[in-house]
Amino acid sequence: MRKLSLKKGFLWSVMGCCLWGSLAQAQSTSQEQIVTQDAREIIWVTESEKATLLSEMRGFLEATQKILEGSLADDMEVIEEAARAVGIKMMKATPKTLHDKLPTGFTDKGPKAHMGFESIADEAAGMGDREVVLEHLAALQKTCNGCHAIYRLKVK
């Protein structure tokens, strides 16, 4: 009886390993398919240009986090400071050579994003209505998500 129990245990262990291996391979394959089926438009940039664009995007994410935290604390100064940092000031700092080589759809969305942050800063400095700030931020996120859905950066 004990031998039968050991055999069953061993058999279950082998079957479990096979199942786990199959699932891991299936997951790996589906992730590879996702990567190879990325239909977003490629924007060819240099390593330096990519770093500049990604730095701006990280700035958007950091500002968004600060705006959300400021909204929760009802701290309009934090919101204004975070939003202004990535508004018009950042947009003007983008090198013209980089701007000129980007596709029109991308260059349309970029200023829209910067101006969206500027409108958040204006609301925080003016009426300071937290609900309006969050409405602006929700609309702005649609711009960000739309751009990420259409474009991807590749270094040439």
Distances from the Cα of 125 to the Cα of 14, 18, 73, 75, 116, angstroms = 65, 61, 15, 11, 14
107/32 Cα distance (integer angstroms):
30
Which DSSP letter does residue 74 get?
A: T
How many CB atoms neighbour CB 110 within 10 A?
19
8 A C-beta contact, residue 83 and residue 124: yes
Residues 6+ apart with CB under 8 A from 106: 43, 147, 150, 151
What is the reported pLDDT for 100? Answer: 92
Q: Is the pLDDT of residue 56 over 90?
A: yes
* pTM listed for this prediction: 0.75
Mean pLDDT of 52-58: 96
89/64 Cα distance (integer angstroms):
16
Q: Is the pLDDT of residue 73 over 90?
A: yes
Residue 22 or residue 56, greater confidence: 56
Tens digits of residue pLDDT in 2-36: 555 655 665 556 555 555 655 556 665 555 555 56
Tens digits of residue pLDDT in 95-149: 999 999 999 999 999 999 999 999 999 999 999 999 999 999 999 999 999 999 9
Residue 28 or residue 37, greater confidence: 37
**Alpha helices of the chain — where are they, by DSSP H?**
2-36, 47-73, 76-85, 88-93, 96-101, 104-125, 130-150
Mean pLDDT of 28-55: 84
